[in-house]
């Protein structure tokens, strides 16, 4: 916690920082832990540095959210910020906390406590998905163990440790977070089954998603390519299948819900498809922006799905949002209150959840 406050205080003093557009999110309030309204760091034997708490801390109270909800909120905000950046600007992302490796993949842990990994995390792939359309320069700063595993062509990485190394804190802090076993918990995505891992589900979803697009210029295209390679491989390891299932299930739920939502609102009639083509639907990106500006937060729809679909967090299916926004425009851009929108999304989510076809691509 102290490290998070120190890094926030440092960056708050940087010349050129656009404070009106900057935000520092923490999964729980931190200001009350510093009654002197300052943070002290450095070795006890040396003259220690004292910094005042920056006013950016605890600007939004996330204490009512669980870890998964917090991750979803952060990803939604990151997507919005990234898409609003200009080419001559620099987007700096701070990940200050604990990280680990699961199946050789980096995870930045989101947890309310110490000594445990927590039920939610931010991954390199999740960040790449959120930042793919950002035209600005991107710098990612991460002080966690194994932070070198965040290296990506999308950003400049400033890390505290190599991919296989642990890091030290700027200030004394508790550590020893455990690395979760097995990565994504597929048990939270599907019903428990005595038959074991649902490989048929993975193959069914992968088969459908492989038809979306093989354009390697988009994250979704690279996912489709992975699906094709997985189906054609004799080595269908459970760990690779879990990784695919996590992403594909998230996208399939969102695609199915938006179609049910559009049908219920009278914006569209048609046969339900399991996924959307992001390249095809990207022409409607401006419609999504217009819809959000009209007070209908279509880009936050994932938020409404959390209570109904365990395991849904961190993967935003933008193709589904673009498609729904296009149907809204075709329907004449009808006005809705936020309460009406939330109720409609929840109703559609509940209805879709009663259909057995949700779990398997049609």
In terms of domains, do 174 and 196 share one?
no
pLDDT band at residue 170, thresholds of 50, 70 and 90?
A: low
What is residue 186's predicted lDDT score, i.e. its pLDDT? 35
In terms of domains, do 178 and 313 share one?
no
**308-318 per-position pLDDT tens digit:** 775 565 678 88
The pLDDT of residue 183 is above 80: no
- Average pLDDT of the chain is 79
In terms of domains, do 58 and 18 share one?
yes
Task: Tell me how far CA of residue 127 lies from CA of 58, 82, 133, 200, 274, in angstroms.
Answer: 23, 11, 11, 29, 24
From CA 44, how far away is CA 48, in angstroms rounded? Answer: 7
What is residue 197's predicted lDDT score, i.e. its pLDDT? 65
In terms of domains, do 307 and 179 share one?
no
What is residue 190's predicted lDDT score, i.e. its pLDDT? 42
What is residue 348's predicted lDDT score, i.e. its pLDDT? 92
What is residue 188's predicted lDDT score, i.e. its pLDDT? 44
The pLDDT of residue 289 is above 60: yes
Which pTM does this prediction carry? 0.60
From CA 152, how far away is CA 162, in angstroms rounded? Answer: 14
Residue 308 belongs to what H/E stretch?
none
Domain span including residue 352: 187-359
pLDDT band at residue 358, thresholds of 50, 70 and 90?
A: very low
Count: domains in the chain: 2
Angle at alpha carbon of residue 94, lines to 186 and 38, rounded to 5°:
120
In terms of domains, do 114 and 206 share one?
no
Lowest mean pLDDT among 22-36, 234-248, 294-308: 234-248
In terms of domains, do 22 and 150 share one?
yes
From CA 316, how far away is CA 261, in angstroms rounded? Answer: 17
pLDDT band at residue 67, thresholds of 50, 70 and 90?
A: confident
In terms of domains, do 82 and 207 share one?
no
Q: Which residues contact 317 (CB under 8 A, 6 or more apart)?
A: 250, 251, 254, 255, 276
* 105 secondary structure, DSSP code: E
In terms of domains, do 192 and 179 share one?
no
């Amino acid at each position: 916690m102290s490290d998070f406050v120190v890094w926030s205080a440092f960056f708050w003093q940087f010349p050129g920082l656009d404070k009106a557009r900057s935000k520092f999110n923490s999964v729980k309030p931190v200001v009350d832990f510093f009654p002197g309204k300052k943070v002290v760091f450095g070795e006890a034997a040396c003259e220690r540095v004292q910094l005042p708490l920056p006013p950016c801390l605890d600007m939004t109270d996330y204490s009512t959210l669980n870890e998964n909800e917090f991750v979803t909120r952060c990803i939604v905000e990151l997507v919005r910020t990234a898409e609003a950046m200009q080419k001559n600007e620099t987007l700096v992302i701070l990940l200050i906390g604990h990280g680990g490796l699961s199946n050789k993949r980096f995870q930045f842990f989101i947890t309310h406590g110490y000594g445990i990994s927590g039920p939610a995390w931010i991954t390199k792939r999740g960040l790449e998905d959120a930042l793919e359309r950002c035209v600005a320069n991107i710098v990612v700063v991460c002080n966690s163990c194994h932070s070198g595993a965040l290296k990506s062509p999308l950003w400049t990485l400033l890390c505290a440790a190599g991919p296989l190394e642990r890091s030290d804190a700027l200030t004394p802090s508790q550590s020893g977070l455990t690395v979760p076993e097995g990565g994504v918990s597929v048990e939270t995505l599907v019903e428990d089954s005595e038959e074991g891992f649902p490989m048929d589900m993975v193959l069914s979803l992968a088969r459908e998603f492989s038809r979306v697009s093989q354009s390697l210029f988009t994250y979704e295209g690279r996912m489709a390519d992975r699906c094709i390679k997985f189906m054609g491989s004799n080595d269908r390891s459970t760990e690779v299948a879990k990784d695919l299932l996590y992403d594909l299930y998230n996208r399939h739920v969102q695609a199915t819900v938006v179609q049910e939502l559009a049908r219920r609102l009278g914006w569209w009639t048609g046969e339900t498809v399991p996924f959307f083509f992001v390249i095809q639907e990207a022409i409607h990106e401006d419609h999504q922006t217009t819809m959000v500006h009209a007070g209908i937060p279509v880009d936050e729809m994932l938020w409404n799905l959390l209570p109904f679909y365990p395991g849904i967090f961190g993967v935003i299916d933008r193709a589904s949002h673009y498609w729904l926004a296009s149907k809204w425009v075709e329907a004449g851009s009808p006005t809705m209150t936020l309460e009406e929108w939330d109720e409609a999304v929840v109703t559609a989510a509940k209805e879709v959840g009663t259909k057995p076809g949700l779990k398997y691509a049609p």
